[in-house]
Structure 1
């Protein structure tokens, strides 16, 4: 399970293969019912969660009530395998970032740049030796738009507009295109700060594929990097 800030995703794995997947919200009874009906029996439940303690406790109760399995919550570590954290307090790094880097490293043993475009845009660099070289956390498109609407009186629009890089000719376009420019520009400038060998680019998150296309610098679209990293970390448990 990959529990984010706004929704959660899950996938059911049998004999190493994903057999079904879905998403749920705690206030959506249909999506919760689909989760609880995904299997009659489970051997393990692995969770990546950036939610708070109350939400995690509620999820734990939900799982243990449906299946006699205690969920395992992944936590960011100082080291996992050969991936080494740069934070003085490793637990302060969001576990989704850590797992995405683990998943990326499992795919590619070279130098990496992992871009996760979700509620927040995160950009993380990993050396070929597995050292986290640092990263960036930037508001995602919805947060950027909300900030503009909340904190400015004259930025208002009702019409829809796509996220593209062309200059906007209406307020809606100027806002959405400006946000697209900021997101793509952030990744581009982050890459400009890199010295030495160019990292392989991997994109994940709900907006990752669109951002990869906007940036137009190549890269690999890997939508389930967090799940892949979760499997890697679970396999390394004592």
Structure 2
């Protein structure tokens, strides 16, 4: 069955086509401030999906607009996925699984489907999340810290006189102007923090975990890491594709 898979985040919507439990190609991403662009892309699809499924962790207005457009143009009601205590071969460690975002659970499902377990999964989005999962799909717990955009917004709110940093792929460690110094702090500081957290996660596990990076800023931050990691930018959507397929 062909389907459209959607990941509605805090600032943008990612989507991808899938069939038979596997995604096709790379995901596309459109900001919540450009719903017209998103719907133009969907309107240009060569073949219509038979089903629409999604995960939502933000973008309430975006979710409502998506539901209206899909119903009006395709006659389909999207199915939104919530976090279960046990599903997709993953057993969550949270006392209240509903407190763990469905995107984090789906990233774990995606890691299992791609044969990456045991893993330390880092999702680099508006918030950066880290989760440890053993070889049997048992979640070991996780943590949440601010992502790059959240760091920039937070600093701007308390120090509005500072310039806006451009986060480039080649920012030096020590810089000679304020704008680049901010970029270095965000990029090198976050990367060094992630290195320490990943190494701590690996050291505390009885198994050899695979460091796995996903999310919108994963490719950028990976350039500043002094360690080997596996990049899987669309892991949440891979998990969404796999979760409806029997996993044994």
Q: Secondary structure at the residue paired with 2:49?
A: coil
The question of 1:13 aligning with 2:18 is answered: yes
Hey, what does 2:184 align to over in structure 1?
Answer: 177
Among candidates 214, 219, 236, match of residue 209 of structure 1: 219
Q: Secondary structure at the residue paired with 2:51?
A: coil
Q: How many residues align?
A: 236
Report matched runs for 1:112-151 at 5 Å. Answer: 112-151=119-158
TM-score by length of 2: 0.84
Q: Identify the range of structure 1 (192-201 vs 118-127) with the bigger mean alpha-carbon deviation.
A: 192-201
Q: Secondary structure at the residue paired with 1:86?
A: coil
RMSD, aligned α-carbons:
2.5
Hey, what does 1:235 align to over in structure 2?
Answer: 245
Distance, in Å, in 2 between the alignment partners of 1:158 and 1:99 is 33
Contact (CA 8 Å) 2:67, 2:77: kept in 1 or not? yes
Q: Secondary structure at the residue paired with 1:129?
A: coil
Among candidates 93, 110, 113, match of residue 117 of structure 2: 110
Higher relative contact order (CA closer than 8 Å, sequence separation 6+): 2
Hey, what does 2:193 align to over in structure 1?
Answer: 186
Q: Identify the range of structure 1 (210-219 vs 33-42) with the bigger mean alpha-carbon deviation.
A: 33-42
Give the direction of change, closer, same or farther, for the CA distance of 1:39–1:76 in structure 2 (3 Å limit): farther
Among candidates 221, 228, 234, match of residue 218 of structure 1: 228
Give the direction of change, closer, same or farther, for the CA distance of 1:66–1:209 in structure 2 (3 Å limit): same
Q: Displacement of 1:88 after TM fit?
A: 1.3
Give the direction of change, closer, same or farther, for the CA distance of 1:109–1:172 in structure 2 (3 Å limit): closer
Deviations 1:95-148 (A, max 9, x none): 111111110111125310111111111111111121111112111112112211
Report matched runs for 1:39-50 at 5 Å. Answer: 39=46, 41-50=48-57
Q: Which stretches in structure 2 are left out of the alignment for 5+ residues? A: 1-5
Q: Displacement of 1:222 after TM fit?
A: 0.9
TM-score by length of 1: 0.87
Contact (CA 8 Å) 2:123, 2:218: kept in 1 or not? yes
Q: Which stretches in structure 1 are left out of the alignment for 5+ residues? A: none
Hey, what does 1:199 align to over in structure 2?
Answer: 209
Deviations 1:57-90 (A, max 9, x none): 4322221111122211111110113211111111
Contact (CA 8 Å) 1:4, 1:51: kept in 2 or not? yes
Q: Identify the range of structure 1 (91-100 vs 35-44) with the bigger mean alpha-carbon deviation.
A: 35-44
Contact (CA 8 Å) 1:22, 1:35: kept in 2 or not? no
Distance, in Å, in 2 between the alignment partners of 1:233 and 1:25 is 26
Hey, what does 2:3 align to over in structure 1?
Answer: none
Give the direction of change, closer, same or farther, for the CA distance of 1:138–1:126 in structure 2 (3 Å limit): same
Q: Secondary structure at the residue paired with 1:101?
A: helix
Report matched runs for 1:148-159 at 5 Å. Answer: 148-152=155-159, 156-157=162-163
Hey, what does 2:76 align to over in structure 1?
Answer: 69
Q: Secondary structure at the residue paired with 1:235?
A: coil
Distance, in Å, in 1 between the alignment partners of 2:164 and 2:85 is 47
